[in-house]
Amino acid sequence: MFGRIKEAISRNKKLIVLTFEVFWIVVFLLNRIAGDAMEMPEFIYVNF
Amino acid sequence: MRNKRREAIVVCIATLAVCFLMLEIGLRVKENRSFDISEGEYVQYGNSFRLRKNMTKLNRWSTSTFTIKTNSLGARDKTTGDKELGDRPYVVFIGDSQVFGLGVDYEESFVGIFDDFASEQGIETLNLAVGGYFLLEQEEFFWDVMERLHRKPLAVFYTLNASSMNWFDSEHENTVVKNGYLFYRSNWMSAYVKMMIRNNLSTYVFFRDAFWCIYRRLNLRGGEVKVPRHFNLYSKDSRLHDQDAAERLEAHIDRFQSKCDELGIRTIYLYVPIADSFRIKEAVTKRGLDPDDYDITLYDRFIKDYCDRHGHTLLNPRPLLREYYEQGEVLDLVRDLHYNEFTNRVVGEYLIEQVFIEHGLF
């Protein structure tokens, strides 16, 4: 089982790295956009 | 070929799962959050709600971490259990979440700071404020507790703000409590699921906030200008500009005052400005709206005028808070409008000074 997983990982190394990179680039960009434009706060106390 | 593609998809999903897990851990560490599946702080009361009695609830919000304790009356307090008033004189605060001290521990709230000082002077403090309560419900809870306690208080701090004055004749009619949390009856199930996800999945909150932010930006560029709902309290459309509504609010306050007078309870009017009322003009200008369409001190002036005409004591920390705001101090919990620890301390110390020194009320 572990052998098969290992093989699949080495076969798809490029894809893993690409997915990893794209994910963190998206997270980085979203964080910048959201962080730059802090909205006016509102009261938080109910789940309406 | 087919197997290869399937393998690639599985590898991709597995990589994303690992990335999400890393992000979740990172956000949790950053926000100091843990899982929250505990019961909320409310119980159903007719169509409205009350606080659970004798409860200790730790809230870990992204904006703050604080503990709520309630006594046997269902009011926020230092400790759980019976409120031991003995034969000591006591004062009562009524209000909404601002007076309740949502976002900070009791000892850090302005009522808690006042309580600490007053108890050294031999005066007990009872905080009957409940987050989310309209003025009518605040008063109803006060009279209920007065019936249960056999002694009348020295004074009641009748605390008002723009929200409570605007909604002075409203009551909760469609509120349901599930597992201690408040929801609209009509959509409580989906709101409950969303709340559980929100409370327990930081990645969800991260992506939700980011996408909302992009959506709002696109809306702004498209010419649609949105301002937070509570800004309308100060706009030209505010109910208080309507003569009839203003007269009904005054009559409402008169009724409360008369009842207190009959029972010999002194009424101290306390106006607590909403933290971001100081920056509304700046915020609407940024959105391309006319700042002169917003009257920030509308409610302050209304209650000042009322108190001046009737000879009542009014306390309003707005000038003091404005000074701090102009010095660049943050007054709220940043993503939540409730007073932060600093503002609570300022208001608490202001109250002590005004009540015990300036006016010598007790």
ipTM, two decimals, is 0.80
- State mean pLDDT over B199-218: 80
CB pairs under 8 A between A and B: 100
Query: Does the beta carbon of B26 lie under 8 angstroms from any beta carbon of chain A?
Result: no
Q: Which tokens belong to B184?
A: 């609209």
Which of B356 and B222 is assigned the larger pLDDT?
B356
- Cβ–Cβ below 8 Å for B206 and A30: yes
Question: Residue B65 is encoded by which pair of tokens?
Answer: 């971490």
Determine the residue of chain A that is closest to B100 in CA distance: A45
Among candidates B23, B102, B213 on the partner chain, residue whose Cβ is nearest the Cβ of A34: B213
* Interface contact A16, partner B, CB < 8 A: yes
Tokens of B250: 């005054």
- CB < 8 Å to A16, chain B: 11, 15
Rounded distance between C-alpha atoms, residue B58 and residue B184, angstroms = 24
Residue B86 has a pLDDT of 86
The rounded mean pLDDT for chain A is 77
Q: How do B155-160 and B90-94 pair as beta strands?
A: parallel
The pTM of the full predicted model, rounded to 2 decimals, is 0.84
Name chain B contacts of A41, Cβ cutoff 8 Å: 228, 276, 332-337
Whether residues A39 and B192 touch (CB distance < 8 A) is answered with no
Question: Residue B276 has what pLDDT?
Answer: 82
Strand pairing class (B155-160; B266-271): parallel
Residue A38 has pLDDT above 70, yes or no: no
pLDDT value of position B62 = 67
pLDDT tens digits along B241-283: 999 999 999 999 999 999 999 999 999 999 999 988 888 888 8
Among B170, B305, B133, which residue's Cα sits nearest to residue B245?
A: B170
- Residue B328 pLDDT: 93
Considering only CA atoms, which of B100, B103, B53 is closest in space to residue B80?
B53
Angle of helix B202-221 relative to helix B2-31, nearest 10 degrees, comes to 90
Q: What is residue A36's predicted lDDT score, i.e. its pLDDT?
A: 53
Instruction: State how far the Cα of B33 lies from the Cα of B59, in Å rounded to an integer.
Output: 10
The pLDDT score that the predictor gives to residue B350 is: 98
pLDDT in tens, B88-105: 999 999 999 999 999 999
Minimum CA–CA partner of B279 in chain A: A40
> Which among B102, B183, B194 is the nearest to A45, CB-wise?
B102
CB contact under 8 A, B61 and A15: no
Q: What residue spans of chain B are helical by DSSP H? A: 2-31, 97-100, 110-120, 135-148, 162-166, 188-200, 202-221, 243-263, 280-286, 298-310, 318-326, 341-352
- Return the higher-pLDDT residue of B348 and B86: B348
Angstrom distance (rounded) from CA B48 to CA B44: 6
Return the biggest CA–CA distance within chain A.
54
Residue A41 has pLDDT above 70, yes or no: no
Assess contact for B95 and B163: CB atoms under 8 A.
Answer: no
How far apart, in whole angstroms, are the C-alpha atoms of residue B113 and residue B104? 12
pLDDT category at A47 given cuts 50, 70, 90 is very low
**Residue range A4-24: average pLDDT?**
91
- pLDDT tens track for B1-49: 678 888 889 999 999 999 999 999 998 887 666 666 778 899 999 989 9
Contact B182 A19 (CB under 8 A): no
For residue A48, the model assigns a pLDDT of 41
pLDDT, chain B, mean: 90
Residue B82 pLDDT exceeds 70: yes
> How many of the other CB atoms lie within 10 Å of CB of B254?
12
Interface check for B216 against chain A (CB to CB < 8 A): the answer is yes
Distances (CA, A) of B240 to B162, B236, B245: 10, 9, 6
Residue B224's pLDDT band, with cuts at 50, 70 and 90, is: low
Q: Is A26 on the interface with B (CB under 8 A)?
A: no
Q: What percent of chain B has pLDDT over 70?
A: 95
Inter-chain CB proximity B182 and A46 less than 8 Å:
yes
What are the two backbone dihedrals, phi and then psi, of residue B88, each rounded to the nearest 5 degrees? -75, 150
Pairwise CB contact (< 8 Å): B338 & A43? yes
Residue B143, SS3 per DSSP: helix
Distance of alpha carbon A48 from alpha carbon B242, whole angstroms: 28
Q: Which two tokens stand for residue B52?
A: 């659970």
Nearest to A33 among B23, B192, B214 (CB): B214
How far is B250 from chain A, CA to nearest CA, in Å? 26
- Find where tokens 């209650």 sit: B303
- Residue A46, C-beta contacts closer than 8 angstroms, at least 6 positions apart: B131, B132, B182, B183
Give the other-Cβ count within 10 Å of B236's Cβ.
11
Q: Which of residues 48-107 of B touch A (CB under 8 A)?
A: 61, 63, 97, 102
CA dihedral B340, B343, B345, B349 (to 10 degrees): -160
The amino acid present at B150, given as its one-letter code, is H
B182 to chain A: which residues are within 8 Å by CB?
45-48
How high is the pLDDT of residue B34?
64
What angle in degrees, to the nearest 10, is found between the helix axes of B2-31 and A13-36? Answer: 40
Does residue B109 surpass a pLDDT of 90?
yes
Report chain A residues whose CB lies below 8 A from the CB of B206. Answer: 27, 30-31, 34
Q: Could B337 and A39 be called an inter-chain contact, meaning their C-beta atoms sit closer than 8 Å? A: no
pLDDT at A40: 46
Instruction: Using DSSP, state whether B108 is helix, strand or coil.
Output: helix
Q: Where are the domains of chain A?
A: 2-36
Cβ-defined contacts of B20-25 (< 8 Å, 24+): B20/B203, B23/A27, B23/B202, B23/B203, B23/B206, B24/B201, B24/B202, B24/B203
Q: In degrees rounded to 5, what are phi and psi of residue B28?
A: -65, -40
Structure-derived torsion over alpha carbons of residues B147, B148, B151, B156, reported in degrees to the nearest 10: -70
Task: Read off the pLDDT band of B205 (50, 70, 90).
Answer: confident
Question: In chain B, what residues touch A31 (CB-CB under 8 Å)?
Answer: 206, 210
Amino acid, single-letter form, for residue B9: I
Q: If contacts are CB pairs under 8 Å, which of residues 149-188 in chain B contact chain A? A: 163, 181-184
Query: What is the structure's pLDDT at B316?
Result: 98
CB-based contact B7 A11, cutoff 8 Å:
yes
pLDDT at A46: 47
